Amino acid sequence: MKRKKFKWFSSVLVIFIVLAIGFVFIAGKDDKDKKDKKGKKEGPVEVAEPDTQVTLDWWFQDWSGGVNWMKDYVVYFENKYPNIDLNLIPIPFDDLFAKLIPSIAQGNEPEILYGYDEWLVGKDVSKLFHPLTPDIMSVSEFKDIIYEATLANVTGSDGNIYGMPWATGANAFGFTYHKDMFREAGIDPAGIKSWDDLKDAAKKLTVYNDDGSIKRSGMLFSYTEAANTFLDMIQMQGARDKMLDPVADVWNFNIPEAKKAMETFKWFVDNKVYDPTSGDPFTSFPNKLGAMLLIGPWNVGASMTNFPELEVGYLIMPPFPTASSKLVLGSIVSYGSLFISKRVEGDVEKAALTFIKEIMTNPVGLYDIPFYNDPPYWVGAVCNKKYIEILQGLS
């Protein structure tokens, strides 16, 4: 791909989000990497390309920006590897979740699978997928490329890695907003540094009908994103250890910090700047029934891809309860990951391993695509260290 000046918005946002994720995850000291069951020594592995023409079926989540992104990548990849054809198969989120594991049990899964690491909690991935280590590279080399904090749920009981986390939409890391509404209200988004600033902005942005009912909410919330933020707000008050009794294995939200967080959400309803009856926020926001939406930055690409006429920006979540509090994001982070079927062999196995290794070792080919598109297909946090180093070199 021909390189050109990187869009500062995407570059800065992606780097910031990756750094923010680091506030949440505390990695332990590196342990000596385990050898795989076959007793292979760790070191660079040469992945052979297939000798014959191979087609890989690839399940991927059906969302407009992501599908457009992957279609572009298919062209890039097939030009580089003419012996490998990628058959991209978009599948709606709920259907993908429902069929991922059952398809493996039934033996009818595709060669390349897409899913989220949280779907694998409590499962031994070594029983589900083809190993990526040591077949592509050693465990230590893998961790040199992919952030270690993302690997917990894709690491098998044998210590090998069975999935490649590649990105997260960073749910509840901030707010999408309509730039035109901010301009009309005379609000500078760069000046929003606290939740008090958010409240003031929401007041100015709310529009009312003649009867006093809300015509346009200054703020919109979705259930799942608000729940994520609720946990972050508790942690930002230093109450992380109060939420769970590890002995009784019981969650406890009957604490002052949880009450303070909940009261903050309730303020937007009580002060009539958020209409909880406004319907699905993923419909009401693009229809301009709300000026701001608590969401991950992925929504910037989703909104602008589906509604290119919109001017959409993104505000990073401010600290809570004050601007001077320590920022904590990502109490719940889900990593989109790629996997290889255990059933692959021969040239199909070579092709599948080549596909994963290409993304890992040459990340520009994949990650440049959404940010150079206008509007961007997607904005979020990538899991590949090499690509972040490239962004940092360009910013």
**Would you call 82 exposed, middle or buried from its count of C-beta atoms within 10 A (0-12, 13-18, 19+)?**
exposed
Of 255, 289, 316, the residue that ends a domain is: 316
Residue that has been written with the tokens 């904590």 in this structure: 328
Same domain, yes or no: 259 and 340: no
Residue that has been written with the tokens 């000291």 in this structure: 29
Of 288, 316, 344, the residue that ends a domain is: 316
**Would you call 94 exposed, middle or buried from its count of C-beta atoms within 10 A (0-12, 13-18, 19+)?**
exposed
**Would you call 211 exposed, middle or buried from its count of C-beta atoms within 10 A (0-12, 13-18, 19+)?**
exposed
Same domain, yes or no: 203 and 310: yes
For residue 64, tell me if it sits in a domain.
yes
Burial letters 126-159, b for 16+ CB under 10 A, else e = bebbbbbbbbbbbbebbbebbbebbbebbbbeee
Q: Using a cut of 0.85, tell me whether the model's pTM lies above it.
A: no
Same domain, yes or no: 221 and 262: yes
Same domain, yes or no: 301 and 190: yes
Pinpoint the alpha helices (H) of the chain. Answer: 8-24, 64-80, 93-106, 139-145, 179-185, 195-205, 223-236, 256-270, 281-284, 298-306, 346-361, 364-372, 385-394
Of 316, 346, 378, the residue that ends a domain is: 316
For residue 50, tell me if it sits in a domain.
yes
The tens place of each residue's pLDDT in the chain, 395 residues long, gives 444 444 434 444 444 445 444 433 322 233 333 334 344 444 457 899 999 999 999 999 998 888 999 999 999 999 999 999 999 999 999 999 999 999 999 999 999 999 999 999 999 999 999 999 999 999 999 999 999 989 999 999 999 999 999 988 777 889 999 999 999 999 999 999 999 999 999 999 999 999 999 999 999 998 888 998 999 999 999 998 999 888 888 889 999 999 999 999 999 999 999 999 888 898 999 999 999 999 888 777 777 777 888 999 889 899 999 999 998 877 677 899 999 999 999 999 999 999 999 999 999 999 999 878 877 777 777 899 999 888 777 64
pLDDT at residue 19, as a whole number: 44
* Other Cβ atoms closer than 10 A to 257: 20
Beta-carbon-side half-sphere exposure of residue 31 (alpha carbons within 13 Å) = 6
CA dist 364 and 368 (Å) reads: 5
**Is 355:114 a contact under the CB 8 Å cutoff?**
no
**Is 33:138 a contact under the CB 8 Å cutoff?**
yes
For residue 3, tell me if it sits in a domain.
no
Rounded alpha-carbon distances, angstroms, from residue 22 to 12, 26, 56, 149: 16, 7, 35, 8
Q: Which amino acid is at 189?
A: P
Rounded to 5°, the CA angle 192-197-22 comes to 55
Kind and range of the H or E run holding 34 = none
Same domain, yes or no: 153 and 133: yes
CA dist 178 and 180 (Å) reads: 6
Number of compact structural domains in the chain: 2
Same domain, yes or no: 122 and 239: no
For residue 139, tell me if it sits in a domain.
yes
CA dist 134 and 230 (Å) reads: 40
Residue that has been written with the tokens 């991950």 in this structure: 296
Same domain, yes or no: 122 and 193: no
For residue 1, tell me if it sits in a domain.
no
Domain that holds residue 159: 8-23+30-169+334-394
CATH number at residue 14: 3.40.190.10
Same domain, yes or no: 379 and 241: no
- Smallest Cα–Cα separation from 317: which of 210, 209, 230, 214? 230
pLDDT at residue 183, as a whole number: 97
**Is 100:125 a contact under the CB 8 Å cutoff?**
no
pLDDT at residue 112, as a whole number: 98
For residue 53, tell me if it sits in a domain.
yes
pLDDT at residue 173, as a whole number: 85
The DSSP-derived string for 142-164 is: HHHHB-GGG-GGGB-TTS-B--E
Q: Sign of torsion, CA 78 60 174 307? A: positive
Same domain, yes or no: 158 and 229: no
- Smallest Cα–Cα separation from 91: which of 59, 115, 117? 59
For residue 324, tell me if it sits in a domain.
no
Rounded to 5°, the CA angle 364-367-372 comes to 100
Same domain, yes or no: 182 and 163: no
Terminal Cα-to-Cα distance of the chain (whole angstroms): 19
The DSSP-derived string for 154-205 is: GB-TTS-B--EEEEE--TTSEEEEEHHHHHHHT--GGG--SHHHHHHHHHHH
Same domain, yes or no: 208 and 297: yes
**Is 176:299 a contact under the CB 8 Å cutoff?**
yes
Same domain, yes or no: 17 and 123: yes
Q: Which amino acid is at 388?
A: I
For residue 325, tell me if it sits in a domain.
no
